[in-house]
Structure 1
Amino acid sequence: MTLGTRTNRNPAPPEHGPSPADLIARAEAMVPELVRRQAETESRTYYAEDTHRRFAEAGFYRILVPRRYGGLELGVETFLEVTKILARGCPSTAWMYCLGATHALPAASLFGEAAQAELFADGDFICPATIVPGGSAIRLPDGGWRVSGTWRYCSGSPYATHFMGHALVPADDGGPDQTLLFVVPRSRWRRLDDWGDQLGLRGSGSHGITVDDALVPDHSAMLGVHVSQVAVERGTPGRTLHGNPEYGGGPLSYMNMEVAALAVGMARNALDIYEEMLRERTTLLPPIVPRGENPDYQLWFGDACGMVDTAEAALAGAIRRWQRTCAAGPEAFTREEDLRIAVICRHILRLCWRAVESNLFPTAGSSSVRGGERLERVWRDMSTMHNHTGLAVFLPTVAVRDLTKQRLGLE
């Protein structure tokens, strides 16, 4: 059996594809329907097939795919704006879309031409990934790897074309296991029925994935690499191949910008709900007036608006900084810079959560937080987001300590 055998049918690059404005308008047009279908999405544990088709037809799955392989190559700013808008409609849908389509960027950045020609053969690229190493990988005598294992929380798996994971490779000298970054096509793994009972993000398609003795060619695997720790200061294969500096950016900071965009979209979702309450509902205690005329509700809403506006401005600044650093050349994207942008994203997340958890959710009233209500769902989704290992453990501890050590030149 030949490792990595696949028919190469790379589509031609689009001559007149949709513009960023087109994609943003398409996402905005979908928001009302996403709001209406939230309960259905949670019950199914992923968004509907017709929603998936609309995303594909709109070009959402090709935003980050290189033009060389039929993608739109419109960059992270457009992708994160679409993500943010979708989260304003349905956080689960946005999470599933984002964490499935986003890995076109590391795939197009870190892997060489042979791998990319296979990975992007169909144009659309949906590839859930996990940052926690697991399973096992064994080097084959004639080259390549045999990979097996189960990886949990693979958001975006229901309609995925690929899976990106980290396997453990035993060291020959008995030392610590090494990490193998690998990508396998959909035909080499199966999705588990293990999602939907969580507090929130129940419709995010974050199912587990099992790989059984998959043969992975050398060009689709990288030994000793973890996607969050890749050093890009010496350049990347994708930057050279595509001539696009965004395929040479820091992966850690980009991963955190994704979640920051989701958080801003979710917080905007909560603000939309609360504003509707201010316009349509009255106060619970005398004097009975429209909530929007009550000084306390004005304070709670205005303060929350300020926090979310600040978070969104910080996100825009983080994206610009990421892009400027990419454009400045490979040597500019140091580990310190990667960590700085990641830590900015930490505070974006904190602001968004504070606006919802401290201002909006507790003052909306019990009728607004019953099971199945839109605000209740946003609160559950944001609570679950804050339970993510990367956000709850890595960012507040390891990332901020490592930033200090990088700044001071410590090991």
Structure 2
Amino acid sequence: MSDAPITMEDGIDATNLAGSAEVARRILDDVAQLVPRFRERATETERLGRVPDISIRELADAGVFRMALPVEYGGFALDPSQIYPVFSEIARGCGSTGWVAWLTTTGVHPVTIYPHQFQQELFRSGWDGPLQSGAINNFAPGLGRRVAGGLMIRGKWAWCSGCHHTRFHILSVMVETDDGGRESVTCQVPHEQIEIIDDWDVMGMQGSGSNSISIAEEIFVPDHRILKTAALFAGIRAAPEPAGLLYKVSFAQLGPITIASLAVGLARAAIEELQRRATGRSITFTTYADQLQAPITHLQLAEMWAKLNACEATLKHSAEQVEGNARDGIPPTPLAVAKLRAATALICMTAKEIADLALRAGGASSIYRHSPLQRIMRDATTLSLHAQTNIETAYEDLGRQMAGLPGFASPRPKTI
């Protein structure tokens, strides 16, 4: 295969390769077979503070990390509705493993906005594992100064999930503008130029390896690895759009849809684990020798199922709506994004409620470290606190716009 992306001049219609239903089914089936292994390794994953290499290799072999890769570079470019069920399945086995798969896989989406020179650098690196991790935001913690041909940058960036495994890290830095102001730009930095700090000591998603990254001494980042952060979120491309519906969906929409799928997977895991452990388990201070015979258990299971069903339906509706608008060429409005984020936040909060109820129903023995229920509860709680899923922030943003006030979205920039 050549170093150049596939083009129509090559006689290959890449649009016919993207979003293959057959490929999507195969990946989902293969990942479902891996769920028991991820469950078995969940304790080890937390102990390591990162996803074990063997799990990364299994995900790579299943094609997970190629789901959002352009077909022009040998990927599958699956639709969001084909991608999110895979993340749900992985999270059903292990929340941390699902988190890393989610973030590093969807992290490929914004890479397609960069110039082809960088895309070739990353996508032709020869690594079939996770390619991209890092921290993108408009309040960039890093510092940059302009020099001929690029930037000199340094700093420290927190929350870099999956950073142990990826080839490049996407890091935001603050630079001075021509008019004397400051703006956030996002740089792509090779793995060998960063230092991973051992500071990931948290309540949930303990195995996600969301360590801080440090660049103590200035390094040079060439122009082809740099974009304005606002332009990145707005999808203003420095390279032509790859083939496939996936890239017609904005990154601001893909993130909420796919992160919600992790919550669905954790909720499923909580229900399954409660059903397993309740079989033949007595309830202290009652006459029930089998918890599954108790009416309270019936009510709890039914409540959890109803909430999970609502989460799944909301996620499916959100994905279908986003994809439908993308097919019709309807760009996302700030109100549409706010509604999507509010739906995602509700899914994640509801999944947390399911995990909490499963833990209570599991009884006192569920608090032991070896109990999956306490881990699922911690992971679901942590997920609900993420900036993308914080329900109070999401509701306020949506409510403001519904009341005729401006939302919190950044203005759309005009240039890259």
Residues 250 and 338, structure 1, Cα contact 8 Å, conserved in 2: no
Of 182, 189, 195 in structure 1, the residue corresponding to residue 187 of structure 2 is 182
Residues 136 and 229, structure 2, Cα contact 8 Å, conserved in 1: no
1:380 matched to 2:385? The reply is: no
Of 163, 175, 178 in structure 2, the residue corresponding to residue 157 of structure 1 is 163
Match of 1:265 in 2: 265
Q: Letter of the aligned partner of 2:117 in structure 1?
A: A
Residue 409 and residue 301 in structure 1: after superposition, are their counterparts in 2 closer, same or farther (change >3 A)? Answer: closer
1:65 matched to 2:69? The reply is: yes
- CA shift, 1:365, in A, is 0.3
Of 137, 145, 159 in structure 1, the residue corresponding to residue 144 of structure 2 is 137
1:343 matched to 2:347? The reply is: no
Q: 1:249-270 deviations in whole A, cap 9, x for unaligned?
A: 2222221222211111111111
Match of 1:304 in 2: 304
Q: CA RMSD in A?
A: 2.7
Q: 1:99-132 deviations in whole A, cap 9, x for unaligned?
A: 1222111212x22323322221236352113234
Measure the CA separation in 2 of the matches of 1:347 and 1:44: 31
Q: Letter of the aligned partner of 1:366 in structure 2?
A: A
Of 32, 35, 47 in structure 2, the residue corresponding to residue 31 of structure 1 is 35
Residues 132 and 170, structure 2, Cα contact 8 Å, conserved in 1: yes
Q: Tell me the SS of whatever aligns to 1:306.
A: helix
1:120 matched to 2:123? The reply is: yes
1:147 matched to 2:146? The reply is: no
Measure the CA separation in 2 of the matches of 1:71 and 1:307: 35
Match of 1:101 in 2: 105
- CA shift, 1:401, in A, is 4.5
Residues 136 and 169, structure 1, Cα contact 8 Å, conserved in 2: yes
- What residue ranges of structure 1 are gaps of 5+ in the alignment? 1-7
TM-score by length of 1: 0.87
1:91 matched to 2:89? The reply is: no
Measure the CA separation in 2 of the matches of 1:106 and 1:365: 44
Q: Letter of the aligned partner of 1:119 in structure 2?
A: L
> Percent identity, aligned pairs only?
24
Measure the CA separation in 1 of the matches of 2:146 and 2:396: 31
- CA shift, 1:172, in A, is 4.8
1:231 matched to 2:234? The reply is: yes
Of the structure 1 ranges 64-73 and 181-190, higher mean CA displacement relative to structure 2 is found in 181-190
Q: Letter of the aligned partner of 1:332 in structure 2?
A: P
Residues 266 and 355, structure 2, Cα contact 8 Å, conserved in 1: no
Residue 389 and residue 332 in structure 1: after superposition, are their counterparts in 2 closer, same or farther (change >3 A)? Answer: closer
Measure the CA separation in 2 of the matches of 1:404 and 1:181: 32
Match of 2:255 in 1: 255
Measure the CA separation in 1 of the matches of 2:57 and 2:282: 41
Q: 1:338-379 deviations in whole A, cap 9, x for unaligned?
A: 22212211111121112222x222221000222231101111
- CA shift, 1:292, in A, is 1.5
Q: Tell me the SS of whatever aligns to 1:47.
A: coil
Measure the CA separation in 2 of the matches of 1:243 and 1:139: 34
How many residue pairs are counted as aligned between the two chains?
A: 393
Match of 2:414 in 1: none
Measure the CA separation in 1 of the matches of 2:195 and 2:226: 19
Residues 351 and 380, structure 2, Cα contact 8 Å, conserved in 1: no
- CA shift, 1:21, in A, is 0.9
Q: Letter of the aligned partner of 2:340 in structure 1?
A: I
Residues 142 and 174, structure 2, Cα contact 8 Å, conserved in 1: yes
- What residue ranges of structure 2 are gaps of 5+ in the alignment? 7-11, 412-416
Measure the CA separation in 2 of the matches of 1:369 and 1:310: 28
Residues 231 and 335, structure 1, Cα contact 8 Å, conserved in 2: no
Residue 319 and residue 224 in structure 1: after superposition, are their counterparts in 2 closer, same or farther (change >3 A)? Answer: closer
Residue 260 and residue 30 in structure 1: after superposition, are their counterparts in 2 closer, same or farther (change >3 A)? Answer: same
Residues 80 and 258, structure 2, Cα contact 8 Å, conserved in 1: no
Match of 2:365 in 1: 367
Residues 126 and 156, structure 1, Cα contact 8 Å, conserved in 2: no
Q: Letter of the aligned partner of 1:214 in structure 2?
A: I
Residues 314 and 344, structure 1, Cα contact 8 Å, conserved in 2: yes
Residues 78 and 244, structure 2, Cα contact 8 Å, conserved in 1: no
TM-score by length of 2: 0.86
Residue 114 and residue 402 in structure 1: after superposition, are their counterparts in 2 closer, same or farther (change >3 A)? Answer: farther
